[in-house]
């Protein structure tokens, strides 16, 4: 790294996806935090895994209890070899391997008051109520943030106590609002008018704002936050500006987020007067019933010294009676307990399930991070989650005690909920997972723990063409540092087999799209029971959804962005088909107009894109041009873009030979881009220029620029030279330098001598290029071509030591200074914008994988009605959890026909194979469809509009013969179906007939 950042303690490459979500201040608090986690069953392992991946300073584990068979259903750090060993001690080594920067300790004694004082956060999982009350009281007394997390079968519970007065510095994930300023009046109050493109803002009355980059009314720059009032015309009252200097131009107004204070009750009071996170009164009552269920479970264990037996009706009735006799909750509307709900909870409570542990462990870990970082609002105070919809609706299909009894098997925790018969069904499944990234790794872990495909006839295929990078390691927990550079699919498959040696995992490193249908074709999908999509593009999701529709396979799909996530399920003929966006939002991906970016930037994003293009135009494209010229077959210059060579030659007449030559070039290019080019632009468009309609040219989104003067004391001026000179040296195969002291001395020498050597030979991009300049460019090209081949530099966003991001960041900053555009102070935000990084964190990833695991239970079991399935959307920053029943398939109609997106017209080819004429007759006779057009892969096979003579040539042909003639189609080995599209007489514009599946065999 060139210029030291205040965060040299942080591995930016490792946390490149996490930084945009949390920011540097929060990450620094996380890196310094100490957390105590008691309880290392499946839920505790999930919490620990997420905290270590996300870089908590130190984690102390506490769990002296021996590993037992039921632990292995959800605890992925343990195996059969660890049976009888302390859970915490057996987990420590594997946990520490996830992140070498995190210290992982084990505490083997009791939890005492003195011990608690060493930590900022204490988490209890799978603990007794008495221990929760004791530890919770001590933590509340000493200001230690305290969490309780627990799962019982298909229900989960989370409690947070962050003290009497906990301050949240940054309550939401959203970036502060910012907008460009058009004008500010002098007055009381002063009225701020926003630039035209920012008038539809989201500022609200009472928002606090600050200002930057204003010229003229400089008193507002970096002032203390000011409250605003929004006017009817969307302008802003900003307080008294009557004594300030007149506003000239530029600047931005930026929202200042207000800290919020949270007040939590201690556990003993919160048990009797629970405040629950729930979106509706009905769900509040549901959560209160689950609250009483957990209290009754604790009371049963206290009275009988054991947990409830799985699916034991006697134990369940005792638990329901205990819940009925509990003291009514304070502050809650008196509604009768849902005894059917309590009974179901009791019957299934003995189980330990991996998906439930993943979901609750993710939310709990996020709450720990909120406690440490003071970023995002914590839960207030109880969260209850249940997935009882995973159980059959028909009571006759529910498990019995004998089927759920322990068998000293790794799946005992799961069998306690669903029974041994369901476990057998799971083991025979054959699933395809597409994507071995963050979500894919979590899913593979889940597959191994639940035993999906772990039987003799089952298995999992994972497909991913990507390779492991360092930035993957903070979320993709199956990978280790020594795996960097290896194929994701192969490493993930091997790691999954380590988790469960009985599971056969096949790795495919070929992309799954239209180009590989000879690999992933009819024969492949005939051996697949379902597909899980863990891909990062909408295009890939749509392709997989189309394959699942074609082969009638269920599709499970999940995605995340920062703290937001979704998990969806699509079941043939039961739910609607996948209909996600075709691509990311156009507003995010639309390219900026070149003219705007070059000469009239209005946002920091514009200057970043300009700087990114500068990198390409200086350090990659010219090198490629010169190298091609070196290897030219003739002396012709017709194919050489000489103008693109101007900036890379710059002030030099010969190739650079030394580090000093590179510095001279960098200094000359600085002068060209940030001074001379701006002066030239202002000659063409003076500050006082007006348009034909009389309005100022430099108004609205066009900010009038000003040239900069090089100042070695300015960090970004210096960083630009350092980065540009090193990149120029790399391109020419010369040694660079990171010696900042020596560079400052050299720059002072160059700047205090006469500067003719810093004047560019070739003028900027706005100047005209005449014949003389073209001649000089040709001569320079000849000179540059005589040395060794140049090295074109490929932009690398994750290599901080390469000066790539340094150059882009410095260039964007200087360009912003030219145009008075405010800049983000956070390096991570700049990197995210220029690299188009999708923000991602381990907690959200784990949560959506767990949610898909729950839907997998439903898909694998007996056929289920649509009401059993759930789409889930969550936002861990804002504590939103929305679960909904999917839509039913939309029904389309044409005359007497009805169909959905899952349907097709199946027509056998027959023996001997039918002709086109026979096919058309079959469709009319059996389906009442008079075909107007028939297509195969957009190629026209038949049209009713053709002449009888033309039709007579095609109607007698066999269908496959016709397809071969028209499209050149060659059947793939094992291909079973030829897909045709049809248009029929009488159809309306919005009619989309189902595909015709012409069955070859």
Is residue 40 within 8 A of residue 87, CB to CB? The reply is yes
For range 324-351, the mean pLDDT: 90
Report the pLDDT value the prediction gives residue 6, as an integer from 0 to 100: 41
The CA angle 820-826-832, to the nearest 5 degrees, is 100
CA-nearest of 472, 520, 519, 468 to 489 is 468
Is residue 46 within 8 A of residue 73, CB to CB? The reply is no
Give the pLDDT band of residue 173 (cuts 50, 70, 90).
confident
CA-nearest of 363, 375, 488 to 848 is 363
Reported as a single tens digit per residue, the pLDDT across 579-633 is 877 644 433 333 444 566 677 887 777 888 889 889 988 898 888 877 876 665 4
H helical segments located in 339-405: 339-348, 354-373
Q: Which single residue is written with the structure tokens 């660079």?
A: 736
Reported as a single tens digit per residue, the pLDDT across 932-956 is 999 998 889 999 988 988 889 889 9
Reported as a single tens digit per residue, the pLDDT across 813-832 is 999 899 888 776 555 556 55
Report the pLDDT value the prediction gives residue 602, as an integer from 0 to 100: 76
Report the pLDDT value the prediction gives residue 800, as an integer from 0 to 100: 62
Instruction: Show Cβ contacts of residue 7 under 8 Å, excluding neighbours closer than 6 positions.
Output: 24, 27, 28, 827
CA-nearest of 387, 396, 394 to 417 is 387
Which of 443-457, 522-536, 583-597, 807-821 bottoms out in mean pLDDT, i.e. has the lowest? 583-597
Interior/surface letters 685-719, b for 16+ CB within 10 angstroms, e for the rest: eeeeeeeeeeeeebbebbbbbbebebeeeeebbbb
Which of 778-787, 882-891, 971-980 bottoms out in mean pLDDT, i.e. has the lowest? 778-787
Q: Is residue 595 annotated as part of the catalytic site, yes or no?
A: yes
Is residue 766 within 8 A of residue 677, CB to CB? The reply is yes
C-alpha span between 81 and 246 (Å, rounded): 77
Give the pLDDT band of residue 19 (cuts 50, 70, 90).
confident
Reported as a single tens digit per residue, the pLDDT across 746-774 is 999 988 875 544 555 444 444 444 556 55
C-alpha span between 226 and 432 (Å, rounded): 56
C-alpha span between 724 and 303 (Å, rounded): 73
DSSP, residue by residue, 175-197: PPPEEEEEEE--SSS-EEEEPGG
Which of 269-278, 638-647, 952-961 bottoms out in mean pLDDT, i.e. has the lowest? 638-647
- Top-ranked range on mean pLDDT: pick from 56-70, 186-200, 585-599: 56-70
Catalytic residue, chosen from 145, 289, 548, 595, is 595
Report the pLDDT value the prediction gives residue 371, as an integer from 0 to 100: 97
The CA angle 776-782-785, to the nearest 5 degrees, is 135
Is residue 326 within 8 A of residue 295, CB to CB? The reply is yes
Report the pLDDT value the prediction gives residue 837, as an integer from 0 to 100: 60
Percent of the chain predicted with pLDDT > 90: 65
Instruction: Show Cβ contacts of residue 691 under 8 Å, excluding neighbours closer than 6 positions.
Output: 697
Q: Which single residue is written with the structure tokens 């009676």?
A: 321
Reported as a single tens digit per residue, the pLDDT across 838-867 is 788 999 999 999 999 999 999 998 899 999
Report the pLDDT value the prediction gives residue 771, as an integer from 0 to 100: 59
Report the pLDDT value the prediction gives residue 269, as an integer from 0 to 100: 95
Instruction: Show Cβ contacts of residue 727 under 8 Å, excluding neighbours closer than 6 positions.
Output: 615, 618, 619, 793, 803, 804, 807
Report the pLDDT value the prediction gives residue 736, as an integer from 0 to 100: 94
Report the pLDDT value the prediction gives residue 633, as an integer from 0 to 100: 42
Which of 14-23, 490-499, 817-826 bottoms out in mean pLDDT, i.e. has the lowest? 817-826
Higher per-residue pLDDT: 182 or 528? 528
Higher per-residue pLDDT: 918 or 990? 918
For range 30-55, the mean pLDDT: 96
How does the average pLDDT of the chain come out, rounded? 88
Report the pLDDT value the prediction gives residue 592, as an integer from 0 to 100: 43
Higher per-residue pLDDT: 987 or 166? 166
Which of 145-154, 190-199, 903-912 bottoms out in mean pLDDT, i.e. has the lowest? 190-199
For range 119-140, the mean pLDDT: 96
| Residue 339 DSSP SS3 | helix
Give the pLDDT band of residue 777 (cuts 50, 70, 90).
low
Torsion of the alpha carbons at 193, 194, 195 and 196, rounded to the nearest 10: -90
Q: Which single residue is written with the structure tokens 């090193």?
A: 726
The CA angle 694-697-703, to the nearest 5 degrees, is 145
Reported as a single tens digit per residue, the pLDDT across 351-390 is 999 999 999 999 999 999 999 999 999 999 999 999 999 9
C-alpha span between 166 and 274 (Å, rounded): 18
């Amino acid at each position: 790294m060139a210029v030291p950042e205040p965060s040299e303690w942080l591995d930016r490459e490792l946390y490149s996806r996490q930084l945009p979500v949390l920011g540097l201040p929060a990450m620094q608090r996380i890196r310094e935090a100490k957390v105590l986690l008691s309880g290392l069953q499946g839920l505790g392992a999930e919490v620990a895994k997420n905290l270590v991946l996300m870089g908590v300073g130190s984690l102390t584990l506490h769990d002296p209890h021996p590993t037992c068979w039921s632990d292995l259903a959800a605890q992925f750090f343990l195996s059969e070899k660890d049976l009888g060993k302390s859970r915490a001690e057996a987990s420590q080594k594997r946990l520490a391997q996830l992140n070498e920067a995190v210290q992982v300790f084990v505490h083997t004694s009791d939890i005492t008051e003195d011990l608690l004082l060493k930590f900022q956060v204490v988490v209890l999982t799978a603990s007794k109520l008495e221990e929760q009350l004791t530890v919770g009281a001590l933590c509340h007394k000493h200001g230690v943030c305290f969490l309780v997390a627990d799962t019982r079968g298909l229900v989960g519970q989370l409690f947070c106590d962050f003290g009497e007065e906990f301050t949240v510095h940054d309550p939401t994930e959203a970036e502060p609002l910012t907008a460009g300023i058009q004008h500010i009046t002098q007055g009381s109050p002063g009225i701020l008018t926003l630039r035209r493109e920012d008038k539809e803002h989201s500022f609200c009355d009472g928002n606090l704002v600050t200002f930057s980059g204003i010229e003229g009314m400089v008193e507002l720059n970096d002032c203390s936050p000011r409250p605003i009032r929004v006017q009817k015309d969307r302008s802003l009252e900003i307080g008294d500006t009557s004594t300030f200097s007149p506003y000239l131009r530029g600047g931005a107004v930026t929202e200042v987020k207000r800290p919020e204070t949270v007040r939590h009750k201690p556990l003993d009071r919160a048990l009797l007067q629970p405040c629950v996170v729930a979106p509706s009164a009905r769900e509040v009552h549901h959560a209160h019933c689950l609250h009483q269920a957990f209290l009754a479970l604790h009371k049963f264990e206290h009275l009988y010294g054991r947990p409830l037996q799985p699916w034991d009706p006697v134990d369940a009735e005792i638990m329901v009676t205990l819940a009925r006799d509990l003291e009514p909750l304070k502050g809650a509307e008196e509604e009768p307990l849902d005894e059917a709900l309590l009974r179901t909870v009791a019957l299934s409570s003995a189980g330990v399930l991996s998906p439930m542990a993943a979901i609750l462990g993710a939310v709990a870990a996020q709450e720990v991070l909120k406690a440490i970082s003071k970023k995002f609002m914590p839960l207030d105070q109880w969260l209850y989650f249940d997935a009882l919809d995973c159980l059959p609706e028909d009571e006759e299909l529910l498990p019995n005690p004998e089927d759920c009894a322990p068998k000293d098997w790794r799946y005992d925790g799961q069998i306690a909920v669903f029974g041994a018969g369901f476990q057998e069904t799971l083991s025979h499944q054959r699933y395809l997972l597409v994507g071995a990234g963050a979500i894919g790794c979590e899913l593979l872990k889940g597959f191994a723990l639940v035993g999906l495909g772990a039987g003799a006839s089952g298995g999992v295929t994972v497909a991913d063409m990507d390779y492991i990078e360092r930035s993957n390691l903070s979320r993709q927990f199956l990978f280790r540092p020594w795996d960097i550079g290896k194929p994701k699919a192969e490493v993930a498959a091997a790691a999954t087999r380590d988790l469960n040696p009985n599971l056969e995992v096949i790795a495919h490193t070929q992309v799954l799209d239209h180009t590989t249908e000879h690999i992933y074709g009819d024969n492949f999908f005939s051996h697949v029971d379902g597909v899980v999509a863990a891909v990062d593009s909408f295009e890939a999701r749509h392709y997989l959804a189309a394959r699942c529709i074609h082969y009638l396979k269920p599709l499970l799909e999940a995605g995340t962005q920062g703290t937001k996530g979704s998990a969806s399920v699509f079941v043939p003929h039961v739910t609607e088909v996948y209909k996600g966006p075709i691509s990311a939002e156009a507003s995010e991906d639309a390219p900026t107009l070149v003219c705007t970016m070059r000469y009239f930037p209005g946002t920091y994003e514009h200057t970043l894109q300009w700087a990114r293009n500068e990198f390409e135009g200086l350090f990659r494209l010219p090198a490629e041009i010169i190298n091609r010229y070196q290897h030219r077959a003739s002396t012709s210059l017709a194919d050489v873009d000489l103008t693109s060579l101007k900036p890379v030659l710059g002030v030099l007449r010969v190739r650079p030979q030394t580090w000093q030559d590179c510095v001279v070039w960098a200094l000359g290019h600085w002068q060209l881009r940030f001074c001379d080019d701006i002066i030239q632009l202002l000659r063409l468009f003076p500050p006082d220029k007006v348009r034909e309609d009389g309005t100022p040219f430099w108004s609205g989104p066009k900010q009038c620029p000003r040239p900069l003067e090089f100042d070695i004391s300015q960090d970004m001026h210096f960083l630009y030279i350092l980065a540009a000179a090193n990149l120029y040296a790399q391109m020419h195969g010369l040694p660079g330098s990171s010696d900042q002291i020596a560079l400052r001395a050299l720059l002072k020498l160059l700047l205090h001598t006469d500067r003719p050597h810093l004047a560019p030979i070739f003028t900027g991009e706005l100047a005209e290029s005449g014949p003389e300049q073209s001649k000089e460019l040709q001569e320079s090209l000849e000179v540059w071509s005589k040395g060794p081949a140049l090295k074109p530099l490929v932009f690398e966003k994750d290599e901080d030591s390469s000066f790539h991001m340094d150059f882009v960041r410095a260039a964007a900053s200087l360009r912003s200074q030219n145009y008075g555009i405010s800049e983000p102070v956070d390096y991570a935000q700049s990197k995210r914008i220029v690299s188009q990084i999708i923000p991602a964190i381990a907690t959200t990833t784990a949560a959506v994988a767990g949610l898909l695991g729950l839907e997998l239970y439903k898909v694998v079991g007996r056929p289920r009605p649509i009401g059993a399935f759930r789409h889930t959307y969550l936002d861990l920053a804002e504590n939103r959890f929305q679960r909904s029943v999917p839509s039913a398939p939309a029904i389309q109609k044409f005359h007497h026909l009805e169909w959905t997106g899952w349907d097709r017209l199946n027509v056998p080819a027959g023996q001997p194979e039918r002709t086109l004429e026979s096919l058309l007759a079959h469709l009319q006779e059996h389906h009442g469809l008079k075909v107007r057009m028939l297509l195969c892969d957009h190629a026209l096979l038949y049209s009713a509009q053709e002449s009888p003579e033309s039709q007579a040539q095609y109607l007698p042909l066999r269908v496959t013969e016709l397809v071969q003639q028209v499209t050149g189609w060659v059947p793939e080995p094992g291909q079973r179906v030829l897909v045709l599209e049809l248009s029929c007489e009488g159809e309306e514009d919005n009619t989309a007939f189902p595909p015709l599946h012409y069955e070859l065999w």
